[in-house]
Amino acid sequence: MKTVIITDSACDLPEDLINQYGIEVFPFSIILNDTTYLDGVSISTQQLYQAMKNGHHPKTSQVSPMLMRESFLNHARKGESCIYVALSGSVSGTYQTSLLMAAEVKEKYPTFDIEIIDSNGGSLGSGIVVLKAAQMAQAGKDKAEIVQYVRNQSSHMEHIFTVDNLETLYRGGRLSRTGLLMGNILNIKPLLHVENGRIALLQLARSKKRAIDKLLEIMEARCAKVKSQIIGITHADDLETALWLKTLIEERLGFQNYIINLIGSVIGSHIGIGGVGIFFANEVYN
């Protein structure tokens, strides 16, 4: 029996790939103007960005425990095997909640076969891994083989991004008011990465162009020189920069396989309009 691949809406995979490979997606909750929406269900990323442009400040909340429980119960009743690849447990309680919900379901269905994996990342850093897992599942690969791939590859995914709007980092507590003021005056663009499952400052750059140059330098130093790997590029309503970045990567590093998508509502709520990110493996598992 085919293994069901589950992830959450922080994976930032395009909808066509989600549908093509039958990936189940748990929606995070988005709180906007005291109204709670389901990410990708009752609010789109484009709608969220428009609200942010209009001066609204959305918040996010973890996936509903009851939604998880119902999904797990449904698969348990059918006798299906599942793998859930979750947003980093260091930034969201969703991973821990999923463990609790799976344990509840196993009390009723002791043979329920589910593996829950902390991706230690998010956006296309986890999305690319989820996509490969779904392709393996569709090809009839053994669940244990898929689990081994996900665990190995997740630990080797790089998340490098820059933000255009320091105000959002300030409101999120990742930047001091002094840093906000000085950053705006000097046109500073911070480069961030994921370290031990958390977003951390990597470098600072003066101007957007220099930030993009530094993104490429870091990628060149860290990426596995496996031309077949998929390179993820995300943007917070800045497709022009994302396409520019893709062209630069092609020219400098020769990669040919890309997924380009909006930074989803979960990550976008915390980094603001105008950010771009690249996601790649520093070691590739097949």
> What tens digit of pLDDT does each residue of 49-107 get?
999 889 888 999 999 999 999 999 999 999 999 999 999 999 899 999 999 999 999 99
User: Is the confidence at residue 42, as pLDDT, over 70?
Assistant: yes
Structure confidence by residue, pLDDT tens digits, 238-249: 999 999 999 999
On the CB side of 17, how many CA atoms lie within 13 Å of its CA? 20
**Assessment of whether the complete model's pTM goes beyond 0.75:** yes
Of 153, 155, 183, 154, nearest to 167 (Cα)? 183
pLDDT confidence of residue 132: 98
* Cα(65)–Cα(124) distance, integer angstroms: 24
Q: Which fold has domain 157-281?
A: Hypothetical Protein Tm841; Chain: A;domain 3 (3.30.1180)
> Does residue 224 carry a pLDDT above 70?
yes
Give the DSSP per-residue string, 192-233: EEEETTEEEEEEEEESHHHHHHHHHHHHHHHS---TTSEEEE
pLDDT digits (tens, 9 = 90+) for 176-221: 554 444 445 446 788 888 988 888 878 888 888 999 999 999 999 9
For the ranges 16-20, 172-176, 280-284, which has the lowest average pLDDT? 172-176
| CATH 3.30.1180.10 location in the chain | 157-281
Cα–Cα nearest to 280, from 129, 56, 149: 129
Q: What is the mean pLDDT of the chain?
A: 90
Q: Which of 173 and 131 is assigned the larger pLDDT?
A: 131
Domain spanning 4-154, CATH architecture: 3-Layer(aba) Sandwich (3.40)
User: d(Cα 27, Cα 30) in Å, to the nearest integer?
Assistant: 9
Residues carrying CATH 3.40.50.10170, the chain: 4-154
